[in-house]
Chains A and B, each alone.
Chain A
Amino acid sequence: MVVKKQERESLVHERYLRHQKKFPHVWCAGCGIGIVMGAIVRAVDAVGLSNDEVAMISGIGCSGRMPVYVDFNTMHTTHGRALAFATGLKMVKPEMKVIVVMGDGDALAIGGNHFIHAARRNIGLTAVIINNYIYGMTGGQYSPTTPTHAYASTAPYGNIEQPFPICQLAQAAGAAFVARSTVYHARELSRFIAQAIQKEGFSVVEAVSYCHTTYGRINKLGSAVEMMRRLKEDSVSQQAWEKLPEEEKEGKIVRGVLVDRDIPEYTRLYDQIIAQAQRAAAG
């Protein structure tokens, strides 16, 4: 049966969001985070997963609240540690699809160590990192992705630190799949997340977003609409980016699947360890 596009969208909403007293959500009007949530549930739907086989794990911050709204097996853990909690769950339930939602501070500052080691192990988790360049929930402190010279409540004279390039970090640390899109490119984002969920191994999707409430206000970047428009104007597909003259490459947000490689997945390898240990024990 062919379901009309309009109907399908409403079914996704019916099927994957929690209805008991969970809305309205805690996020600011105009925030991009809801678009990421939408992209995730559409990706789950596109892959054809049942609610029961999906777990969503989060840490602390605005992104930490997402699991409340989705009708999966959900866990809102401690700051920075979502990937470590997810690692334990994935090891004992390797058949589950475990999606880990984090912000830039959560994933790369307090959770930076867990991030690189989850990538190094290549354990089959999907990390969706919503990058808004700031700590939003605590009121606009600079994060590991805040651009140099930008202002934050804790960088009143401008940020003197370098930002972490999330995707390159994931690639260097050993992730099997790395992609980047923005909340303006919602359908592309959803497609990348669907690919990431299906990838066997550690997959990372950087969802570039914005925080008009803190970062936008402090850096005078205008309303949510203006920040959204900037995502459209400042981003470029990887193919287009490669064709750009060098001087125009600077400062562009490159969208696309940046890494897609086949590396043995951790829980699969561990199954082999079990078989090996049991053979040895049997004599």
Chain B
Amino acid sequence: MGERYEIRLAGTGGQGMILAGIILAEAAILDGKNVTQTQSYGPEARGGASRSEVVLCDEEIDYPKVIQADVLLCMSQEACDSYFHDLKQHGLLIVDSDNVERTPTSRALGVPLARWAEEATGRQITASVVALGFLTGLTGIISRASMEAAVKARAPKGTAEINLKALAMGFEQAERFLKSRRG
């Protein structure tokens, strides 16, 4: 069996977690990877816990859901509390520090996603796209070109530009973070 790479995006309904998963998955296909994307949500169209999962692999993917996440993104406190337990031991936990007060581990990487979004586009709703840029910039699991193409293709009509800005902000912050670690 090939190496699986598992990403879980968790938040509340309406934050764009499912669309973010779809964008990741489509970008992965552009990179030539096999991919599955699943989701779990309650009956609410807005609010309520919402999570989206993406599994990447060079080989055929059998079990389509996350077994133990390599990356966990939490955009809400509830998501963080519920999903932390099946993160891999050395997995990456990214939390939106604007929405998550209590982090379950000191390894958690708290970043102000909502604020960055506000800064880049003036719209908090783009925080999920900022998160995608940050996450892929940090891990390098998907190429920046593919991410940009996928965002462009999936952005609602007339919003491609601001979503690309949000994505760029995520990548920028990832670079800055990596530099600060190295430096």
Chains A and B share a contact (CB less than 8 Å): no
